[in-house]
Chain A
Amino acid sequence: MLLRYRGSEGMLAWAFHRISGVAIWLFVVVHVVDIYLVGGDPKAYDTILKVYASLPGRIGETLLGAALLYHALNGLRIITMDFWPALTVYHRQLWYASWIVFLAVGLPGAFLILKPAFGL
């Protein structure tokens, strides 16, 4: 269903938006709780922080950043078309444009997040 339902860019954009949105929501639930521990139990927070700073943690944060950036760019595309329906004709081109921005911003970003794990 994920790849065949209506096919093409519009449906993939929708599927990625939904998957990234649910993933970000899950992280927000965890993140609000871990920040609460800064006041509630600072030692427990510092222990959790070590997980975030580890290599698996950094890979997770890179994926979180990718989900966030995709969701933000595609969301802006949706909002633009909602309030300027004439642009909907170019929804495909807008989606590809959002991927160009995604790669241009995301690849250097991923490098910055991952490099401390490799001692850079």
Chain B
Amino acid sequence: MAFYTRSGRVRPQGGGLELAIWYLMRISGVALFVLALAHFSILHFLFDPANQTAQWITSQRWNSLFWRSFDWLLLMMVIFHSFMGVRTVVGDYIKGGWRTAVMSVLYLVAIVLFAIGTIVVMNLPVTLLSA
């Protein structure tokens, strides 16, 4: 193993949850390569952020089941990948009781963000009238 230089985390040998997370980080990583780069490119290169008002999102951007599903999939992938990534960073630098405390707050924030993101992407009414 010493021969290999990796910038990623070494595959956990014990199996179980840590190995599952290791695989899920890579699967969500590949998904985000497509979803996140497409999302960023569409909303910066095809459209200009200056025009993306609340009215534009409700009447144009989210006037489509496809883009709502796309954004919800992106939300799920990015919440999992980013919070599990930060979990690795926290595990590297913070130990003991502080680690438990910080991780508890992180998981809580992840759940809240997933909830409010899901609420807005699923429930925002479509308004076809332009202001």
Contact = CB atoms under 8 A, between A and B. Distances in A.
Contacts of B109: 29
Decide if the interface of chain B is mainly helix, strand, loop or mixed.
helix
A78 B29 CA distance: 10
Interface in A62-100: 64-65, 68-69, 72, 74-79, 81-83, 85, 88, 91
Given A72-B32, A113-B44, A32 B113 contact: yes
Given A25-B82, A42-B55, A10 B119 contact: no
Given A21-B82, A52-B49, A65 B44 contact: yes
Interface in A1-52: 10-11, 13-14, 17-18, 21-22, 24-25, 28-29, 32-33, 35-40, 42-43, 45-46, 49, 52
A17 B40 contact: no
A25 B83 CA distance: 7
Interface string B37-59: 10011001100111011110110
B65 interface: no
28 contacts: A10-B5, A13-B7, A14-B7, A18-B89, A21-B85, A25-B83, A29-B113, A36-B116, A36-B120, A38-B54, A38-B58, A38-B124, A39-B119, A39-B124, A43-B54, A53-B49, A69-B37, A75-B29, A75-B33, A76-B30, A79-B8, A79-B30, A81-B6, A82-B6, A82-B11, A82-B26, A109-B44, A109-B45
Interface of A: 10-11, 13-14, 17-18, 21-22, 24-25, 28-29, 32-33, 35-40, 42-43, 45-46, 49, 52-53, 57-58, 61, 64-65, 68-69, 72, 74-79, 81-83, 85, 88, 91, 109, 112-113, 116
Interface of B: 3-8, 11, 26, 29-30, 32-33, 36-37, 40-41, 44-45, 48-50, 52-55, 57-58, 75, 78-79, 82-83, 85-86, 89, 109, 113, 116-117, 119-121, 123-124
